[in-house]
Structure 1
Amino acid sequence: MTATLRSAARTLGFETNCHGMPGLIEVSAREFPASNSATSSQSTMVAPASSSPRPAAASAPAAVARRLGRFELRQLLGKSAGTMVWLAWDPRLEQELMLTLPRVQPASPAALELWQDEVRSAARLNHPNIAHVVEVGVQENWPYVAVDRALGMTLPEWLAAHPNPAPLESVGWMCHALQGMAFAHESGAAHGDLQLHHLLISENGSVRVMALAAVGQPQANPDDANRAMPLDPNRLRAHRQNAERDVLACGLLLQQLLVGQPALEEPDTALVISRLTPLGKEIVRLPWSTPHPIPEALRAIANRTTASQERQRYLSARTLLQALEGWRAAEAQDTGGPLALLLDRMRTVGHLPAMPGVGGRVSRLTSMEGQRTDEMAEQILQDMALSFELLRMVNSAQVQSTQVSGNGPVLTIRRAIALVGLNGIRSAAAQLRVWPGPLTPQGATAMERTIERVRLAGYTAQALCPGGYDPEVIYLVAVLQNLGRLLLQYHFSEEAEQIWQLMKPVPPPANAEPGTPEQPGMTEAGASYAVLGVNIETLGASVARHWGLGEDVQHMIHRLARDKAVRTPDGDADVLRTAASAANEAVDAITTLPATRIAQGIALVAQRYARSLEIGPRDLQEALQAARTALRTGKRVADVQKAKSEETTAEPDKR
């Protein structure tokens, strides 16, 4: 290939159609001139996939022949700063191919050999979402990787004919691409220049990623790079960075599919990445005006992919894939979607693990025939898993069918004991997994902390609730407001840790000006959407519905929204819900805020609930103290409050 061709190939451009997607173009002869002379070439043929159909002979070539060695170049399908993709006719194989070439020619024979080694290594990967490579070769010192056109068309070609796909369809495509990328990353390969035109879509809607590693990896000394050991720390670090860059590119492509336009009006994902932190200062988020409404959960996932804080972004294709698949399950199956994430695990490991020694405690309880029901209920409430199992049993469809019509759901352990009897308690305990179930030691420690926090919230709710309400009911309402969090910690412990990390605020950088505020973390809802694709509250509500708890109970166990004012309760159910919400917010404040901000957090909670519960900061502090004492000693909250009141009355007036 002549020097003129080499220079022109580096600056090839393409026109766009009315949808902003690459279309048919006419490239002049001086950009890719006709060449009838013999050309030197070398290539590695890869056996075509057996499932790939052979296309019919292509139509007559264009008037101006554009050639690269033996290939007749027919259409530029897309280009970026790193690569370009051409639709070409191969007379030797008598089939259309898609050729991906780097935009910059390798600078030396060693660099050329390194490019081929990287691409051949990636071409060996076999996955349904990675495009099968037909050939890796070189024409006139220009390396290329060839993919059979029969695999499908590029996604921009598809979008030109089918613009504005529905969000569910777009997410499905990205899930296919992420499955291929996750497999490639876990196999030691990366793409390095993932663009929309590197995604192929077949007639059945399956998406494949093509041209892994085709952009090439710049090396200071290619000869040294070739001799590097496979486990060389520098190579491993470079692979991790390239994989994270691929995930960021996937996020940009997801946003482009949802919006219908590329981020920052720049179709080249590499150039957009160069303008995001930490390389640039641009911020990319989904606009509120989109061709289709974007559900809140999907918006949270898409925005996390390009979060301004690097620590909040997805670092692996597998985690982004998990979030999108969680959202797809919830969206496709409607109300059953969130529950589907848990059902398989709940069948095998239960909803929660029983606390150590549950068998012995149940034996002692059931051997004492004359023990009062309320005393038995107090002891059972110490074990959250056993309490939940009894509620599940008595509220299931089988038990409900035997109850008197109109009785409604059971929300006390006392009533559950009366319905199932001692044998029912033994049966419920036998259904439970022994502590800690499948949890790792670290997961068990986190689970134990979560349970203690939830029990503290239950006791705090008892201390806050106005007189006349059943203490056991208010305790269970406050506990059930955390059902999703408990299930998350047990069944998705790694994801739970990701969510808590995303919620943490970030201190200002060391070089920031004095007085610079810390960057806030994500909300719990936003973080859970971004990690799981569903809200934690939704998980808890779905399981509660699965257990047979009615709409009134589901209303009570849904926390009040923190971004809305607290109104005066309309009835008993609202009173219970409000007291439980206040207790949970107070416990969140003392367990998640820095020590220097706890007093301020308590004051804000008291201010929110001052009118509805007639409390102030001191009342809230005393309720928390009574709850701590009850949790530590095992006494009833009412008894702790009574003792505190008598102690205060007995003290001499010190004023």
Structure 2
Amino acid sequence: MPDSSPTAAATKPAAAAPTRSFGRFELRALLNKSARTMLWIVYDERNEQELYLCMPRVAPNSPAAAEDWQKMANAGARVKHPNLGNVVEVGQVEHWPYVAYERALGETLDERLARGPAPVPNEAADWICQLLEGLAFAHEAGHAHRDIQAALVVISPTNQVCLLGLEVAQEVFPANANFNAVTRRAVREAAEEDVLCVGLLLHRLLTGRPVLELNDLQMVIQQMQPIGHEVVRLGWETPHPIPDPLRAIGNRATDRQARQRYHMARSFLRALDGWRTAANADDGGPIALLIDRLQRVGHLPGTTTALNAVAQSSSMGGKHISVLAELVLKDMALSLELLRRVNNSLKQQGAPVDGTVLNLQRAIAMLGLNGVQEAARSLKPWPGVLAEQPAIMLRKLMDHLQRAGQIAQALRPAGYDAEVIYLITVMQSLGRLLVTYHFPEDAQQIRQLIQPLEPTPDHPNPAPMTEQAGAYAVLGCDLDTLGQAVARYWSLGDELQHMIRRQGADAPVRHADSDAETLRLTASLANELADALLQPEPLKRQAAIETATKRYARTLHIGLREVELAINPESGEGAPDEPEAPPVVAVPKASALRGRFTSGGR
């Protein structure tokens, strides 16, 4: 039986230590011993090569158990993937089974970390992504690892990562168990534990030291909530600065509440790879995936069937442009499609313009009736590619943004055009809209992550995750970045790209030194107020409204009375009676802002 205890001292100082053997293998070093597995370096005299030998910490307790172990290990050995160690041999010496791998695969992660400094975040993310690629493939083939440790992750000189020990750690059953009838722990449950262990490895790489100062990750799990009392979060004193998206991903992987963690290796991989790709290239990762979706299925489905009927009828030609603009504004997808088409056309023509067109009347005039009809026909009818439940969530989001746009119209400073502020308010949530439509499962994950957490004795008032952190943890980048990338892809100008960047919840609201900044901040306040209205409890809702008002009051010269009238215009006399679709204007360049966002003093 392999043993980690030191050999007996030599009776004479000059005598060589006896060679330890395991069958035909010469035992050279014990690299790791966890609660479930052991990893040895051995020398195979028959083939004259060094091998890794991975074996269970506890030998099977019966011939039937040994036979079942061999069956599962052989099945795991048949799973081939570049990031899973290629099995050389599955065998048994006496009652000890083992799985052998070539030592030439590389050095263990423990060995790599012991001989050098902690990797930079990009390198750590690359290693973990490779590990997750192999692990996800194994999980999808119906296998679980059950004892992921740093010593079982091997890195080649070219930074190729592979995982050793698949199906080596198996469940232990009584010696008289019937292995044809016994019910094993669900692979999904074991797979979730594998994913948690990978999250702990990411923490170790980023912090430069073992989590909770324990090398055995199974012992760490026993100390973590909800089983134990420890909370594993990335600290601030790390060998290298950790970018906020990567920090959010790492903290979600080891969240104290199990429901908040990654449950599948693919989900973890997608978030981490999304951040890694976006960090290396502005147009990569989730951005590239989203733009590909836009090219194939469009940005949003149409919501107004009556508009399509009008677009296909001859009566449309006799309608005034302002009436057509009013119809277009009721369809969020068509409004965005017209703006996309007219600005992309101007860019392709290379014609000099006074800035991005954010004027539906001007867009209609430039595209012509045929262009508007073509744009309307290009939209997929509601609900597009969505199933019933995701379509309901998208409709709720659109209604929410329409409410925010109406609040912004009521709060806009005197003289500014109501439709301009409405469209800017909606486009500040462009990323959220597109993710909800194109990646509904990811949008659902983000919604779940930002839900209030359940209080515990250790954390009676837990703070929920922000939407930005939730997007980081799911996609690897935030929703604003996605919206900005799409705005650039649509050839929208720099000025509009600035205005559709919503004010950060923690960022101070400073003096607005331009019309564009005034519009941006007004739209941001309207979106914060609309979000506050989603609070389920009246006291929390009112507190959120007052907090948002206080943030913007000095800059926008508004008070709580104006905000209350904007939210409930019917509650006071003299509330502004806004038309459903007021006139629209173009967004000019910064050098010509003054007076270009107004509508004749309306």
Q: Which residue of 1 aligns with 2:478?
A: 535
1:636 corresponds to which residue?
580
**What is the deviation of 1:595?**
4.6
Decide which moves more: 409-418 or 163-172: 163-172
SS in 2 for 1:434: coil
Residue 124 of structure 1, CA deviation: 2.1
Deviations 1:85-142 (A, max 9, x none): 1111122233322101222233333333333333222222122221121222221322
**Distance in 2, Cα, partners of 1:604 & 1:373:** 41
Residues 1:627 and 1:505: Cα distance change in structure 2 (over 3 Å): farther
Asked if residue 463 in structure 1 is aligned to residue 410 in structure 2, the reply is yes
Q: Equivalent residue for 2:298?
A: 350
Which letter maps to 1:228?
A
Q: Matches of 2:76 and 2:261 in 1, distance apart?
A: 26
Question: Which residue of the other structure, out of 560, 566, 576, is the alignment partner of 1:623?
Answer: 566
**1:373 has 2:317 as partner:** no
Which residue matches 2:368? 421
Instruction: Give the conservation status (yes or no) of the 8 Å contact 1:190–1:213.
Output: yes
Given the superposition, is the C-alpha separation of residues 425 and 607 from structure 1 closer, same or farther in structure 2, using an over 3 Å criterion?
same
Contact 1:329–1:340 (CA under 8 A) maintained in structure 2: no
1:331-342 to 2 correspondence within 5 Å? Answer: 331-334=279-282, 336-342=284-290
In 1: Cα distance, 2:18 partner to 2:532 partner: 72
State whether structure 2 residue 141 is matched by structure 1 residue 141. Answer: no
Counterpart pick for 1:450 among 397, 410, 413: 397
TM-aligned CA deviation for residue 178 of structure 1: 0.8
C-alpha contact 2:196 2:253 (8 A) present in aligned 1: yes
How far off its partner does 1:301 sit?
0.3
CA distance change for structure 1 residues 127 and 30 in 2, over 3 Å: closer, same or farther?
Answer: farther
CA contact (8 A) 1:459 1:627 kept: no
Q: Distance in 2 between matches of 1:124 and 1:142?
A: 21
Unaligned runs of 5+ in 1: 14-26, 32-61, 640-655
Task: Measure the CA separation in 2 of the matches of 1:401 and 1:117.
Answer: 63
**Which digits, 9 at most, give the CA deviation of each residue in 1:355-384, with x for residues without a partner?**
2525213224x7333422222111101111
Matching residue's letter, 1:622:
L
Equivalent position amino acid for 1:417 in 2: I
Cα displacement (A) at 1:287: 2.0
Q: Which amino acid aligns with 1:615?
A: I
3-state DSSP class of the match of 1:100? Answer: strand
Whichever residue aligns with residue 141 of structure 2, its letter is S
Which digits, 9 at most, give the CA deviation of each residue in 1:13-63, with x for residues without a partner?
Answer: 7xxxxxxxxxxxxx53589xxxxxxxxxxxxxxxxxxxxxxxxxxxxxx96
Instruction: Return the offset for 1:336.
Output: 5.0
User: What corresponds to 2:164 in structure 1?
Assistant: 210
User: What is the match of residue 558 of structure 1?
Assistant: 501
Aligned counterparts of 1:576 and 1:336: Cα–Cα separation in 2: 31
- Checking the alignment, whether the CA contact within 8 Å between 1:252 and 1:269 is kept in structure 2 is yes
State the secondary structure of the residue aligned to 1:224: coil
C-alpha deviation, 1:148, in angstroms: 2.1
Question: What aligned pairs does 1:168-247 form with structure 2 within 5 A after superposition?
Answer: 168-219=122-173, 221-224=174-177, 226-228=179-181, 232=183, 235=184, 237-247=185-195
The residue number in structure 2 matching 1:307 is 255
Cα distance in 1, alignment partners of residues 517 and 382 from structure 2: 35
Residue 39 of structure 1: aligned partner: none
Q: CA deviation at 1:637?
A: 7.8
Matched residues in 2 for 1:517 and 1:103: separation? 40
> Matched residues in 1 for 2:382 and 2:163: separation?
44
- Please report how far the alpha carbon of residue 612 of structure 1 lies from its aligned counterpart in structure 2 after TM superposition: 2.4
- 1:363 aligns with 312
Q: Report the secondary structure of 1:562's partner residue.
A: coil
Provide closer, same or farther for how the CA distance between residues 337 and 144 of structure 1 changes in structure 2, counting only shifts above 3 A: closer
Q: Which of 406, 415, 427 is the equivalent residue of 1:480?
A: 427
User: Residue 578 in 1 paired to residue 521 in 2?
Assistant: yes
Shift of the alpha carbon at 1:404? 5.2
What is the CA distance between 1:225 and its match in structure 2?
A: 5.4
Q: CA RMSD in A?
A: 2.6
Relative to structure 1, is the Cα distance of residues 100 and 482 closer, same or farther in structure 2, using a 3 angstrom cutoff? same
User: Is the CA contact 1:460–1:626 (under 8 Å) kept in the aligned structure 2?
Assistant: no
Partners of 1:225 and 1:146 lie apart in 2 by 28
Instruction: Indicate the residue corresponding to 1:612 in structure 2.
Output: 555
Structure 1 Cα separation of the partners of residues 300 and 555 of structure 2? 34
Instruction: Identify the structure with bigger relative contact order (alpha carbons < 8 Å, sequence gap 6+).
Output: 2
SS at match of 2:7: coil
Greater Cα offset, 498-507 or 420-429: 420-429
2:63 and 2:21 map into 1 onto residues whose CA distance is 23
Distance 1:534 1:419 in 2: 36
Moved more, 601-610 or 371-380: 601-610
Is 168-177 or 528-537 further displaced after alignment? 168-177
Q: Distance in 1 between matches of 2:227 and 2:519?
A: 51
Distance 1:73 1:404 in 2: 76
What whole-Å deviation, never above 9, does each CA across 1:231-286 have from its counterpart, x for those lacking one? x5xx3x54222111111100011111122211112222111111101121111122
Pairwise CA distance, 1:519: 2.2
Secondary structure in 1 aligned to 2:317?
coil
Code of the residue aligned with 1:246 in structure 2: it is D
Report the CA distance shift for 1:189/1:274 in structure 2 as closer, same or farther (over 3 A): same
Q: Are the counterparts in 1 of residues 407 and 567 from structure 2 also a CA contact under 8 Å? A: yes
Corresponding residue for residue 165 of structure 1: 119
For this pair of structures, how many residues does the alignment match?
573
Give the structure 2 partner of residue 498 of structure 1. Answer: 445
Q: Are the aligned partners of 2:326 and 2:581 in contact in 1 as well (CA < 8 Å)?
A: no
- 1:142–1:401 CA distance, 2 compared to 1 (3 A): closer
Q: TM-score, normalised by structure 1?
A: 0.82
- Taking structure 2 as the reference length, the TM-score comes to 0.89
> Would you say 1:101 and 2:55 are equivalent positions?
yes
Q: Please state whether the residue corresponding to 2:548 is helix, strand or coil.
A: helix
CA–CA separation in structure 2 for the residues paired with 1:186 and 1:621: 53
Q: 2:240 aligns with which of 288, 292, 300?
A: 292
1:560 is displaced (CA, Å) by 0.9
1:560 is paired with a residue of what secondary structure? Answer: coil
Q: Is the 8 A contact 2:61 2:175 kept in 1?
A: no
